[in-house]
Amino acid sequence: MGAIAAGIAAAGAAIGAGIGNGVVIGSTIEGTARQPELGGSLRGTMFLGVGLVEAMPIISIVIAFLVMNK
């Protein structure tokens, strides 16, 4: 049962992180294409956004590791 729970948690984390990061980085690419002179500033904000968005999926992965062997 622990393995199934870990699998479901990891799947949720992967989908959430993938879609969330995709939206953030896609917006950054679009913004850089519109105004290339803001490229450096947008890149810094992108890393901040990725760090924030990935908080919940990472916690989900930690829970998956915790229940993996039960």
Partner 1 sequence: MGGDAYTFKFLGLMFNWTNLISGLVIFVLVFCLLYGLSRKLQMKPKGAQNLMEWMIDFTNGIVRGQMPANEAPHYNFMAFVLFVFILIANEFGLIFQFGWGGHELLRSPTADPIITMTLALVIMTLTHFAGVARHGFVGYLKTYCTPYTAMLPINLFEEFSNFLTLGLRLFGNIYAGELLLKLLAQMAFSHGIPTMIVSLPLEVVWQGFSFFIGGVQAYVFVTLTTVYISSKVSTEE
Q: Tell the smallest beta-carbon distance from residue 52 to partner 1 (Å).
A: 6
Task: Name which position in 2, 18, 26, 51 contacts partner 1 (CB under 8 A).
Answer: 51
CB 67 within 8 Å of CB 34: no
Burial of 64 (0-12, 13-18, 19+ CB in 10 A): buried
Q: Is there binding between residue 11 and partner 1 (CB under 8 A)?
A: no
13 CA to centre of own chain? 8
Nearer to partner 1, 33 or 53 (CB): 53
| Residues binding partner 1 (CB under 8 A) | 47-48, 50-52, 54-55, 58-59, 61-62, 65
